[in-house]
Amino acid sequence: MYEKLFEPVKIGTMELKNRLFVPAMSTLTATPEGASTEQFAAYLERKAQGGWGLIITEYFGVAPYVGFFPRMLGIWNDELIESHRKVTDRVHAAGAKIAAQISHSGRETFIAVSDENLVAPSPYMDVSGTKKPRMLSKKEIKEIVSKYGDTAMNLKKAGFDAVEIYAAHGYLISNFLSKYSNKRIDEYGGCLENRMRFLMEIVADTRAKVGPDFPILVRLSTREFVPGGLSMAETRVIAERLEQAGVDAIDCSQGIFTVSNNIVEPFRMDNGVFVDASEEIKKCVSIPVLTAGRINEANLAENILKAGKADLIGMGRASLADPDFPKKVQEGRADEIRYCIGCVQGCIGGNMRGENCHCLVNPELDREFELPDNPAKEAKKIVVIGAGPAGMEAAIVAKKRGHDVVILEKADQVGGTWNIACLPLYKGELVNLIKWQNDELGRLGVEIRLNTEATVDMIKEMNPDEVILATGGKPFIPPIPGADLPHVVQANDILLQNASFGKNVAVLGGGSVGVETAEYMDYCGSRTMIIEMMDDILIGLERETRLMSLDSIRERQIKVYTESRVTNISENSITFNRKGKDVTIDEIDTVVVAAGSRPVNQLVDPLEALGIKVTPVGDAKQVRNGLAAVYEGYMAGYNC
């Protein structure tokens, strides 16, 4: 069924067993000096065990302190080689090939430690920057070119099978390639021939140092999606020249950090949204072309290959969600795959918070080194109250460890409030999490009692050794005069279609629930506005999702009032205090409340009074996001 996916392919002299690869993704697990750690090695080894043909590591800086994040891999001296050789040995033993990406972040370099390396072809920061970079001299350019080649040579010594020169995403090389960032008037600026010079010198220096038989890949932003940025017409020329220079493969990406939703695409973007770019590049070169971007199902990947749009399929976040993706597909177990849902909460969202890369649907990710198999020393009776994502994850892990597990769920189906989270525009893919958890519980034989609201007497009669409380949270309406009027409704009731709404709607709350509900009602034809107490909306939302949400609000012309506290709701108007001034909006026929939720955990004290151990997880512990909820559910099952 998937003949193309599992067809061998060669990149230069490197032969891969299949056409599935893991693109470079940051984990922030290197030591401060740039060495590999056990955490990093276990993470990559786990992927290799899952059947991926090629794994491309996160970038190795060509010098200290040239990364976008505070921690990065490095191999700028011989002392660092051995730690990385241990990684390549383990990946090879597990059956995969491994390449290393090499980079200088240019004007996107992390400057909290030092701003010495905040450099660019021209002394201008991007709109998302905070400090102007320093313009590189010609002498410095030549020095950096040599550092790329030296880095590649050391990576070859460390046992890597190939290197990928990172010429994408607004980092230093792409700064030179793009008119958007390169304003030089010497031989490194101006026409495309000159703007390519830096990259071509790096390729030449790297080839000279690694020899003719060591594969070199280049990752390009085929289009930058900023005014005057790199275009597909220019990228086709760059790709042709790279092949002529002896590069063995082109890895297609797009975007720069300012529009990072085009680099790490959230659920708001279509699946396989950028494969047409790789198809364009394939028309220009005869070397293999790699593609990636929201490709998270095997049938999508197979179709892209059959259509001739690419030669290899990158499935970065799919590999985070399920490292065994290739193995499961090849063994006919695709129904067991944990699919990426595009939430970006744990991967790039975690990185941007300075955390290791994690995954909402796979709590083991980047924790492989500290979560060994943990069979129960003795089987316990575990009662899980609530069949939302946290409760189901707890039940899955506890059952796999050997416990007797029963789930009590008061609704007539599993999923909890996650079933509502799937309802806004663009978010249908989130249902894949609940689908996988429900199926996994069925495969494990876990008993789920639906339409069963847990009580203290019921739990006492069941006599469990431990209770995992996953009863979620409950939305609340703030104590505002008029909040009890019939046209004041909860956002969840709008999304569930349990409440109607009129043509002029005010939404109280500018978090993700409020914004998504406002978008939905606007899509249905209503004129909506958002009223938020804080000084901005969508605070704390992952950057990539937030960028697209804000674009949607602007396109839909949804009015937003920030720093506004609602003081009164009447039958046809709403009044709020904005920066010390009272504002009244008339002709409001529906008020939708999206003011947050509070934990539902009233069973904790009475159950503990009976001597029963109770572990609250997810929103029952503290209302947060799905990443925290699923992880807490996992750990409750792991430790019970």
Q: Among all residues, which ones are annotated catalytic?
A: 171
Whether the CB-CB separation of 283 and 277 falls below 8 Å is answered with no
DSSP output for 547-569: HHHHHHHHHHT-EEE-SEEEEEE
β-pair type (249-253, 289-291): parallel
How far apart are alpha carbons 551 and 569 in whole angstroms?
29
Q: What is residue 90's three-state secondary structure? A: helix
Residues 6 or more apart whose CB falls under 8 angstroms from that of 493 comprise: 499
Instruction: Name residue, tokens 């000096």.
Output: 33
- Residue 102 β-bridge partners: 60, 165
Closest to 471 in 3D by CA, of 454, 495, 458: 454
β-pair type (573-578, 581-586): antiparallel
| Count of residues making up the chain | 640
φ, ψ (nearest 5 deg) of residue 16: -110, 145
Q: What is residue 5's three-state secondary structure? A: coil
Structure token pair of residue 295:
């490709």
Count of beta carbons in the 10 Å neighbourhood of residue 189? 17
Q: Which whole-number Å values give the CA distances from 43 to 28, 39, 366, 639, in the listed order? A: 12, 6, 6, 22
Closest to 621 in 3D by CA, of 472, 475, 513, 476: 472
Whether the CB-CB separation of 290 and 21 falls below 8 Å is answered with yes
Count of beta carbons in the 10 Å neighbourhood of residue 113? 13
